[in-house]
């Protein structure tokens, strides 16, 4: 059974940090470009960051460049998102998914993808 399970969300003050973790099971995740997506209330889902399956190159949406870092550990079938200097506009449900492509590296929502159920990140005083 294919599963992507996110963890690490929560409530944090502006300027704080969180580390999201995505654990994959039931498929060969090391063959897939993986990524993080988020959906804020009343907004469409957007691709935040992707990491390639081969050379671990990375993609970030402009709004998180310099603040977020994506990484993966294929031996543990895990993808991480380190989020620093969080802002209120980073608030939303964060999803782990295979909805990325390697070339060019970036979000790719077409086709069949695996998605987790999401973890809520709230940045507020």
Residues 20-68: tens digit of each pLDDT: 999 999 999 999 999 999 999 999 999 999 999 988 899 999 999 999 9
How many whole angstroms separate alpha carbon 5 and alpha carbon 7? 7
Sign of the alpha-carbon torsion through 106, 121, 112, 70: positive
Confidence of residue 110 (pLDDT cuts 50, 70, 90): confident
Give 31's contacts (C-beta < 8 A, 6+ positions apart). Answer: 53
- Phi first, then psi: what are they for 102, rounded to 5°? -80, -35
- Phi first, then psi: what are they for 90, rounded to 5°? -85, -5
Chain centroid offset of residue 32 CA: 14
Structure confidence at residue 91 (pLDDT): 98
């Amino acid at each position: 059974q294919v599963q992507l399970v996110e963890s690490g969300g929560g409530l944090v003050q502006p300027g704080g940090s969180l580390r999201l973790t995505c654990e994959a099971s039931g498929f060969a995740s090391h063959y897939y470009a993986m990524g993080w997506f988020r959906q804020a209330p009343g907004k469409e889902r957007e691709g935040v960051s992707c990491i390639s399956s081969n050379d671990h190159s990375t993609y970030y949406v402009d709004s998180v460049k310099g603040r977020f870092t994506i990484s993966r550990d294929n031996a543990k079938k895990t993808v991480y998102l380190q989020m620093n200097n969080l802002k209120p506009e980073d608030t939303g449900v964060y999803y782990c998914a295979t909805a990325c492509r390697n070339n060019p590296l970036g979000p790719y929502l077409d086709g069949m993808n695996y998605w987790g159920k999401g973890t809520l990140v709230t940045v507020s005083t």
